[in-house]
Chains A and B, each alone.
Chain A
């Protein structure tokens, strides 16, 4: 077997569309179901802790950037920060929850927008965890020696899916124009933007060596927890999914919406903790060695009993080592981990030899990803 070389993140870039949007103006952008403001929104905002976010869609419905365009802009910035141009790129891995098209894959759309030379591409569609799937593809492309420069990007344009016409006249809205919480929570949680990293076979000052990327799916255990494409009650039966019943019937049944099951989420969180503690137990993750902990989940939204469980099991990374931009930049799904890493790298607070630990839980169908980086 060929020896695998080390590979380094040499640049990170982000793109957030437009101006920050505060909590009081969310529905100006997304619209109001049946013309009435959401009653559930405030509760959702208390849970998710987000205070500001960006949308690629203006209140009048005009779109400033596609998902692919935002990703291309993030890749350009990441390349620029690595001191490279798009001409030097050999491989592009792209991640998203919902691309601009169903078909073909997101990486083709990003490559089309980015331009540059013919590239090897790879598309990853999942939820937040797709970011690390793409990162792993880019990392492997470099460490196997197939490419010297690879990029991984992730982007979301969720707000398009949050417009009233996605819900009105469907089973998700009752006669008083109230949207089911499974749908409304995500309207007040997710927003738009993109992030990217560049991976190279040689380090540069400020580069981060990738030590491992581990991704664990528990879809064998759980029904869908965050999904689109099937009605709430029958989602586990894939023959009820949108393509089987047809687009019109699917819309009426409330299948054409992003949805979240909160009850199941509680069980999925415990399962994530189990996977994490197993990594700690195996010595793969040593909490005491972590200098910067980037979790796509706010420490504040972890319930007290989970924190005390992590403390009891010697698994907790002290809260002062957690770094997050969730509150000010929003929850941008798959792009979030790159928004955090970019902000950390730009902050200048990472010193040589320090370890950066990234955790990306994805409620989708219960997946969790881990990435360990070390500053050169």
Chain B
């Protein structure tokens, strides 16, 4: 692996671990880790996750449409990614219903302040020509899938004594994203080395992490 990829991965790992520390301090995750999580917390969490997951495949598609001909391989990767994930929000709806919630409620759920900011930011970045900085956003979001989702899913299931079919999104994501991280390294190598791109990827990761944490901070059941 090239030094340029290793340097960016190192900076992204630092951003991710600081992000994880910030999540740990949010009221919602504190309730979860301290065993005080309630069903209403989980349902509020699912509503916000749905916003963000639904948008995910859309901004990825938009980003792909802004990638030029000299980076077709990266464009293909993003398109495949978008296809893989664009129905995942349905899983969140099914989880919500399995907890006893009504499907209309989760579908009518509104973005909180953090989700609004995160969504606006993603579409804004994806609308730029060759929006390679979004690889940094993917690192944060994929990292959540492969590192945090299962951990949260197990804790939610145990605390609320839920059946598997109410925690499928969190548990399922954890199983699938390990290979996404491997694909990620390949994608980085498609745009690096390039000093400006490297800086933009790290900066985009920082902003995405902050806005994602804001989304979690704003969840109050």
Q: Contact residues of A with B, CB < 8 Å?
A: 218, 220-223, 233, 236, 263-264, 266-267, 270-271, 273-275, 277-278, 280-281, 309, 312-315
Contact = CB atoms under 8 A, between A and B. Distances in A.
B14 A278 contact: yes
30 contacts: A220-B25, A221-B21, A221-B24, A222-B21, A223-B33, A223-B34, A263-B151, A263-B155, A264-B33, A267-B20, A267-B151, A270-B17, A271-B20, A274-B13, A274-B17, A274-B18, A274-B20, A275-B17, A277-B13, A277-B17, A280-B10, A281-B11, A312-B1, A313-B6, A313-B9, A313-B10, A313-B13, A314-B3, A314-B6, A314-B10
Contacts of A221: 21-22, 24-25
Contacts of A267: 20, 24, 151
Contact of A277 (B1, B14, B24): B14
Contacts of B34: 223, 236
Contacts of B13: 273-274, 277, 309, 313
B21 A218 contact: yes
A124 B33 CA distance: 29
B16 A274 contact: yes
Given A223-B34, A236-B34, A281-B14, A312 B25 contact: no
Contacts of B22: 221
A281 B25 contact: no
A257 B151 CA distance: 27
B193 to A, nearest CB: 14
B17 A281 contact: no
Nearest to A218: B21
Interface residues on B, range: 20 to 34
A117 B10 CA distance: 50
Contacts of B33: 223, 264
A220 B30 CA distance: 12
Interface string B30-66: 0001110000000000000000000000000000000
B6 A271 contact: no
Contacts of B10: 277, 280-281, 313-315
B147 A312 contact: no
Contacts of B183: none
Contacts of B3: 314
B174 to A, nearest CB: 13
Nearest to B33: A223
Contacts of B18: 274
B185 interface: yes
Nearest to B17: A274
A267 B148 CA distance: 9
Contacts of B20: 267, 270-271, 274
Nearest to B19: A274
Given A233-B35, A312-B185, A313-B6, A222 B24 contact: yes
> What are the nearest 6 A-B pairs in CB distance?
A274-B17, A313-B10, A221-B21, A314-B6, A278-B14, A313-B9
B7 interface: yes
A104 B3 CA distance: 52
B21 to A, nearest CB: 4
A277 B33 CA distance: 26
Given A233-B35, A274-B20, 4 more contacts: A221-B24, A274-B17, A277-B10, A314-B10
A264 B33 CA distance: 9
B209 to A, nearest CB: 12
Contacts of B1: 312
A117 B34 CA distance: 49
A358 B33 CA distance: 32
Contacts of A280: 10
B61 to A, nearest CB: 28
A267 B23 CA distance: 11
Q: Which of A275, A278, A313 has the most chain B CB atoms closer than 10 A to its own CB?
A: A313
Nearest to A261: B33
A14 B134 CA distance: 53
Contacts of A309: 13
A221 B18 CA distance: 9
Nearest to B147: A270
Pick the most buried of A223, A274, A275: most chain B CB atoms within 10 A of its CB: A274
A104 to B, nearest CB: 34
A303 B218 CA distance: 34
